[in-house]
Each structure stands twice: as C-alpha cells, then as structure tokens.
C-alpha cells in the first residue's frame, strides 16, 4: 500500500464516520451528500492537524511494510474527524439561523 492509498482510505473512513453520526443522532443530518462532504473535510483537517504526531501515511509506510497500529490510529482519527465535522457544521448552521 502506498501513502496515497492510505490517504484515500482515511478519507473514506472520515465519510463513514460522518454518515455514521447521521444514523446514530438523526438531528445531525445534511443528507448523504452533505454528510459525505463534511466527512471528507473533517477527516483531512484532523489528519493534517494530528498527523504530525506520527501516524501520517508516510510514517505508516516508513519501514516498507504497513504499520498496523499506526494505520488503526489513523483510521480512528479519520472517523472522529468526520463525526466532529458534522457536529460543528450543524452548530454553525444553527447559529446562523438564530442570528
């Protein structure tokens, strides 16, 4: 697996996390397209923000083979990023409606 494939898989996990949030908490829904877009941006933001701690795709593939522990950590951060992106987007939308 190359770094690019790991990045794309991570973005997929972010989309999955955003849509999972939609199914668990119905009020955090922008539809499947809106949630997917928020999941992509949330995943990328969180991976860029926290990836410097050592679980970015380059660190995962550093030894030439995949480091499973770092990949799992990367996936969990992507899912969390997608979930938080939906919550933040919904909060911003609510604030814009009330003001």
Domain boundaries, the chain: 3-98
CB 6 within 8 A of CB 58: no
Report pTM. 0.87
Asked if 87 contacts 30 with a C-beta cutoff of 8 angstroms, the reply is no
What b/e sequence results for 12-22 when a residue is b if at least 16 CB atoms lie within 10 Å of its CB, and e otherwise?
A: bbbbbbbbbbb
- Whether 12 has a pLDDT exceeding 90, the answer reads yes
Q: What is the pLDDT of residue 1?
A: 58
pLDDT tens-digit readout, 19-42: 999 899 888 888 899 999 999 999
Q: Residues near 96 by Cβ (< 8 Å), separated by ≥ 6?
A: none
Task: Work out the percent of the chain whose per-residue pLDDT is above 90.
Answer: 49
């Amino acid at each position: 697996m190359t770094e690019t494939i790991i990045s794309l898989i991570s973005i997929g996990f972010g989309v999955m996390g955003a849509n999972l949030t939609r199914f668990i908490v119905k009020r955090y829904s922008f539809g499947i397209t809106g949630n997917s877009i928020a999941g992509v941006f949330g995943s990328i933001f969180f991976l860029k923000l926290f990836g410097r701690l050592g679980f970015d795709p380059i660190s995962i593939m550093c030894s030439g083979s995949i480091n499973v522990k770092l990949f799992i950590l990367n996936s969990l951060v992507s899912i969390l990023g997608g979930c938080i992106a939906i919550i933040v987007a919904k909060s911003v939308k609510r604030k814009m409606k009330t003001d």
